[in-house]
Structure 1
Amino acid sequence: MAFLHFDLDVLPFIFLVILIAFTLHEFAHAYVAYRFGDDTAYRQGRVTLNPMAHLDLLGTLLIFLAGFGWAKPVPVNRSNFRNPRMMSVIVSAAGPLSNLIIAFVGLILMYLYFQFGWNDALSPGGAEAIETFLGYLIDLNLLLFVFNLIPLPPLDGFRILEDVVPRSVRLQLTQVSQWAVFIFLLVVFIPPLNTKVLQPILSLRYDIFNAMNVVMESIFGFVIFNRI
């Protein structure tokens, strides 16, 4: 699931980044579940890197029309797991972690891009396009990482919360989950709540980015991004 705002002139970059981010996010859920013994997603053709298996048409269109969208949720039958609670947590976390990994890979590629002077070998327009794409690859995947860990349904963070709390609390969460969805929608779409609640949470991606950037600077010995 994603909550995004963007300018129309970067639409091609947004589309490509979303294609990568959503596909790998849902693939990660399906693959880890399959490795843990649940073949539900596998039988539905979801253990694949084919974007068509993961993208939801309406959810994808709404990203570009309203700035909010989603991919097809991966079906998981936790009863197939040897350790349902622990393995369910890992399966739920696999999606957001895939976005964190993509962002880190994007940052590595950006440093390599400047390290080897690939920007000098390209035309100004080509260099700008690559830098814009990598910039969005990093930022939007960090945003998806943080956003999907919010502990409200239907996000991955809520599924993780359900499995780490005691069983009695889990039952209470299940009972109020339908109302929590409305809270989530209010936070997303009501401007005052969005500004005061959601945006501060999403801004945590800048702290993660700064930490990653410090690591890259220590490895490569030069700076390409200022602290945010």
Structure 2
Amino acid sequence: MSYDRPGEPLVLGVPRAAFRPSPVFLALVALFVTSGVLAWQRYGNVRFDVFLFVVSGWLVSLCLHEYAHAVVAFRAGDRDIAHRGYLTLNPFKYTHPLLSIVLPVIVVLLGGIGLPGGAVWVDRHAIPGRLRHTLVSLAGPATNVLFTLVLVAAVRLGSGGSAEFWQGVALLAFLQLTASVLNLLPVPGLDGGNMIQPWLSPQYRRMYDLFAPYGFIMLFALLWSPRIGGWFFGAVFWLADLIGLPAVHFRDWLHLIRFWAG
């Protein structure tokens, strides 16, 4: 991908076009805002409106999660990440579109879990220092934590609109909370594991790198175990209560967006 245009301003040697939001991301934001307005006004099929609102909002958060990784990596020294298209917020630029977009949406609809999705490839050799590597990995989960707090504040302080709209906002907050917890787990290949990987001894780092490609699959399988899934949801519900999110209504929120279930 080339962004070279004569006379175009550069940012750290990279044309500004590499930082422009893609039409795909802008379309997702437009869908998020439009469906939110429709749900607020209870226009048409309000359950379908909330479905679009939650799914598009979740996809927007995935894009921003991966953008946070990419922009911190860019600032830390990986200039080529701009030429891979990761700074345009285009989800189709991720390394695994199926795992990045389709699977997380399916898991949201079926299980109400904000599964870690998109993946950007970072040239770790271009980034000096262990702390910078940790900050690159931390940037994504930090975005989820921020979204969680903003959405919870909106639920607690908001007024007006329809009850369905606020249920959709609450569900988005819950999904961001689950994503925050999952992304911070020290699982090989996920952000939490990648945060500690630079600080491991060479022996443990080799073991980590061996399991890293399968960390996502292992986590996905474990979450469907009734016992482990119960522990996970127990921890998330405890955190939700701690920050003031009424997660006791989680099943109702999830049923709301399953407009096909009646």
Normalising by the residue count of structure 1, what TM-score does the alignment of the two structures yield? 0.70
Look up the SS of the partner of 2:122 in the other structure.
coil
Deviations 1:11-47 (A, max 9, x none): 3233022112201110100011011111232111111
| Letter of the structure 1 residue corresponding to residue 124 of structure 2 | R
1:76 aligns with 2:122: yes
Q: CA deviation at 1:139?
A: 1.4
Which of 152, 155, 176 is the matching residue for 1:107?
Answer: 152
Look up the SS of the partner of 1:47 in the other structure.
helix
Deviations 1:135-169 (A, max 9, x none): 12321111111111111133111111212333332
Structure 1 residue aligned with 2:169 = 134
Deviations 1:164-218 (A, max 9, x none): 333332233224445656643431233344334x3344445425xx24x4xxxxx
Structure 2 residue aligned with 1:206 = 240
Q: CA deviation at 1:127?
A: 2.2
Q: How many residues end up aligned between the 2 structures?
A: 195
1:46 aligns with 2:86: yes
Q: CA deviation at 1:52?
A: 4.6
Which of 16, 20, 23 is the matching residue for 2:60?
Answer: 20
Q: CA separation of 1:45/1:162 partners in 2, compared to 1, >3 Å: closer, same or farther?
A: same
Q: CA deviation at 1:55?
A: 9.4
CA contact (8 A) 2:95 2:120 kept: no
Q: CA separation of 1:106/1:75 partners in 2, compared to 1, >3 Å: closer, same or farther?
A: same
Q: CA deviation at 1:63?
A: 3.6
Q: Which runs of 5+ in 2 are unaligned?
A: 1-46, 249-262
Provide the C-alpha distance between the structure 1 equivalents of 2:246 and 2:217, rounded to a whole number of angstroms. Answer: 38
| Letter of the structure 2 residue corresponding to residue 62 of structure 1 | L
Q: CA separation of 1:111/1:64 partners in 2, compared to 1, >3 Å: closer, same or farther?
A: closer
Structural RMSD (CA): 3.0
Structure 2 residue aligned with 1:61 = 102
Provide the C-alpha distance between the structure 2 equivalents of 1:178 and 1:56, rounded to a whole number of angstroms. Answer: 12
Look up the SS of the partner of 1:73 in the other structure.
coil
Provide the C-alpha distance between the structure 2 equivalents of 1:166 and 1:128, rounded to a whole number of angstroms. Answer: 52
CA contact (8 A) 2:91 2:97 kept: no
Look up the SS of the partner of 1:151 in the other structure.
coil
Provide the C-alpha distance between the structure 1 equivalents of 2:225 and 2:75, rounded to a whole number of angstroms. Answer: 40
Provide the C-alpha distance between the structure 2 equivalents of 1:57 and 1:79, rounded to a whole number of angstroms. Answer: 24
Q: Percent identity?
A: 25
Q: CA deviation at 1:113?
A: 2.5
Q: CA separation of 1:56/1:202 partners in 2, compared to 1, >3 Å: closer, same or farther?
A: farther
Provide the C-alpha distance between the structure 2 equivalents of 1:65 and 1:182, rounded to a whole number of angstroms. Answer: 15
Provide the C-alpha distance between the structure 2 equivalents of 1:134 and 1:127, rounded to a whole number of angstroms. Answer: 11
Deviations 1:81-105 (A, max 9, x none): 231x111110101001001111222
Q: CA separation of 1:165/1:103 partners in 2, compared to 1, >3 Å: closer, same or farther?
A: same
Q: Which runs of 5+ in 1 are unaligned?
A: 1-7, 120-125, 214-224
CA contact (8 A) 2:137 2:194 kept: yes
Structure 1 residue aligned with 2:229 = 194
CA contact (8 A) 1:26 1:95 kept: yes
| Letter of the structure 2 residue corresponding to residue 142 of structure 1 | L
Of 89-98 and 134-143, more deviation after overlay is shown by 134-143
1:161 aligns with 2:202: no
CA contact (8 A) 1:110 1:134 kept: yes
Provide the C-alpha distance between the structure 2 equivalents of 1:108 and 1:185, rounded to a whole number of angstroms. Answer: 30
Q: CA deviation at 1:54?
A: 4.9
